[in-house]
Chain A
Amino acid sequence: MHKSSIVGRGQIDKIIFNFLSYTIVGIFALACILPFYLVVIGSFSDERTIITEGYSLVIKKFSLEAYKLIFKNPISIIRAYEITIFVTVVGTICNLFITLMTAYVLARKDFPWRNGIMFFFFFTTLFNGGLVPWYLLCSEVLKFNDKIYALILPLMFSVWNMIIATNYIRNNIPFEIIESAKIDGAGDFTMFIKLIVPLCKPLTATLALFTALAYWNDWYNCMLFIRNENMYTLQYYLQELLNSAEAIRRIAEKSGRIVQALPMESTKMAMTVIATGPIILLYPFLQKYFIKGITIGALKG
């Protein structure tokens, strides 16, 4: 009682608030991290211990078996990595080039048809033919099946990113710069490469990050178009592994037996770690760009 009169009402509110906010935010943050930790623990755990005792919070019996199993025949995992990295790099570069170039043209005040063309792009975000005609076009007409470009083309241009970029250029690059470059005799394309792109570094960085992430995490296009196991992306490879293990488990369950000799549990977790790895490793470095990117594209919808 004596203390409260010294600290004052405002201070007590502040203390209560801080207590609440630290607890709530802390617990939520923990809930976001803990599952990743559990997967890592699972991947380093002994298979037999998992089967008899289940997964746990601590490593009961350390084992590298799962990783050894995966890397005993590393060809397919290395291939999945190769495909994913190739698709991510090529796709991101193409996407950025096309998106920024379009945004630059549409941001130029002296381009006479910019409103009409903007609507031409924008309309596609309002209405689309749906999955079925798109899929039939890609697989039947454009022959996407088992082609590497099936993994690149579907994510190569994004109207939303283009709109964000157009607004960014319009708001951040004074039109006078373009005009004076024009007077100095710079061509439209040279101006884009030498002037606009360097001036748009924060925008380029964030769009690059988000596009790269979309490519890296893509399993959908792989699922639709790729049948050749040598062309599976990392995420789809993991999905197939999980599904086949799950299928075996369900069959075993239906037949009333628990298959003891299933060396799958820790392997699944090890594969999850391998597929998540690069993102987790890069994450601390890229995090501030993520936040900037979300803020730049805040109204992406």
Chain B
Amino acid sequence: MEKAHNTFSLFHKDRKVGVHTFWKNILKNKILLLMLLPSVLYVIIFNYIPMGGIIVAFKNYNYQDGFLKSPWVGFENFRYLLISNKLWLLTRNTILYNIAFILTGMIVEVGIAILLSEMSGRYFKKICQSAMLLPFFISWVIVAAIVLNIFSFEYGVLNNFLRSIGAEPFDLYSNQSIFPLFLVLLRIWKNTGYGSVIYLAAITGIDREMYEAAEIDGASIWQRIRYITIPCLRPTMVIMLILALGQIFKGDFGMFYQIVKNNQILLEVADIIDTFVYRSLMSSTDIGMSAAASLYQSVMGFITVIIANKIVKKVEPDYALF
């Protein structure tokens, strides 16, 4: 990725190639061009054509008339989103959850990576790392089943335990104040193994001589972590942070959909743009509004990526995406 910013520059060096050489080039590279065909077609069909489909957001879409013939309604869909107060709630939820996920995730991932890197027992380390990676490879459907197994009000392991010691059982699925915290913890549970590998790789890249020199100078293990490991991890942390900030308008659909389901009590605190778009799309009467919400998400996402990239360019030019 380091060289990426040259790669993505729009302008080709040889601007002065003539039409003649252009055709000659095409003939010369015909096999290579043919090899690009599947992916180029794929991206045109599944990415570029839907960009044109954005017009649905400005239409009163119905299945009979389709994309082109459905009547135009201008900004009506957006206006409806605004006056229903939905937009604000969805944006707030999406952004706040993402910020919470990014910050807590980073602290736990870096922390675990540092602990793992300084650990002496090789086997214990390996076993723990495998254990922590496991949740990442499980689909959210299975996570939802597991959550149900533990937190189900009637049969859950937790409530079973609480009842057996004579405590009040705890209904996670109707508790608006605890649930956001629960989602944050769940996210940490699922992603820490994966994230810590990235930071562990960065720690492995740190020059060992620095640690040795520090040790000779009498630095304690805490001092080495504080003055060598963490400063050396800073660039990686900044990049991961900014990349994640660029995706801040995008929620994890799988997580919110599978864990929250259609629980009306929880939707108030756990509805994000992605789940809202899906539900209004499936209700098939709100397609215009759904398209408006998803266009809003795309545009805001685009803006944040551009801003994030500008920041990366200032902070760490080598890591800029374009």
- Chain A interface (Cβ < 8 Å from any Cβ of B): 9-10, 13-14, 17-18, 20-22, 24-26, 28-33, 35-36, 38-39, 42, 50-51, 53-57, 98-99, 101-102, 104-106, 108, 111-122, 124, 126-137, 140, 142, 153-154, 156-157, 159, 162-163, 166-167, 170, 187-189, 192, 213, 217-220, 235-236, 238-239, 242-243, 246, 249, 258, 265, 268-269, 271-272, 275-276, 279-280, 283-284, 287, 290-291, 294-295, 298-299, 301
Contact = CB atoms under 8 A, between A and B. Distances in A.
13 contacts: A13-B222, A24-B111, A28-B112, A29-B132, A51-B154, A54-B154, A105-B32, A131-B290, A132-B53, A132-B281, A132-B287, A134-B50, A217-B139
Contacts, number: 308
A98 B298 contact: no
Contact of B258 (A140, A189, A239): A239
B150 A38 contact: yes
Contacts of A26: 124, 128
B105 interface: no
A188 B298 contact: no
A185 to B, nearest CB: 13
B141 A10 contact: no
Contacts of B36: 101-102, 105-106, 117
Contacts of B137: 213, 217, 279, 283, 290
Contacts of B142: 235, 238, 272, 275-276
Contact of B12 (A112, A133, A235): A112
Query: A30, A133, A137, A287 — which one has the most chain B CB atoms within 10 A of its CB?
Result: A133
Given A25-B128, A275-B141, A298-B198, A132 B291 contact: yes
Interface string B294-322: 11011001100110000000000001011
Pairs of residues from A and B, 10 with the lowest C-beta to C-beta distance, nearest first: A133-B53, A130-B294, A54-B160, A129-B50, A217-B139, A29-B128, A29-B131, A132-B291, A124-B47, A188-B31
A239 B201 contact: no
A239 B35 contact: no
Contacts of A131: 274, 277-278, 281, 290, 294
A37 B322 CA distance: 45
A167 B150 contact: no
A132 B197 contact: no
A220 B145 contact: no
B322 A18 contact: no
B160 A55 contact: yes
B258 to A, nearest CB: 7
Contacts of B298: 127-130
Nearest to B215: A10
A287 B130 contact: yes
B273 to A, nearest CB: 10
Contacts of A121: 39, 43
Given A38-B157, A101-B39, A105-B35, A13 B149 contact: no
Contact of A21 (B118, B138, B198): B118
Query: B43, B297, B305 — which one has the most chain A CB atoms within 10 A of its CB?
Result: B43
A167 B321 CA distance: 13
A263 B120 CA distance: 48
Interface in B245-261: 246-247, 253-254, 258, 261
A269 to B, nearest CB: 6
Contacts of B1: 163, 167, 299
A210 B204 CA distance: 23
A139 to B, nearest CB: 10
B3 A167 contact: yes
A157 B157 contact: no
Nearest to A245: B148
Contacts of B202: 298
B247 to A, nearest CB: 7
A226 B212 CA distance: 59
A92 to B, nearest CB: 15
Contact of B31 (A13, A187, A271, A279): A187
Contact of B32 (A10, A111, A167, A265): A111
Contacts of A217: 137-139
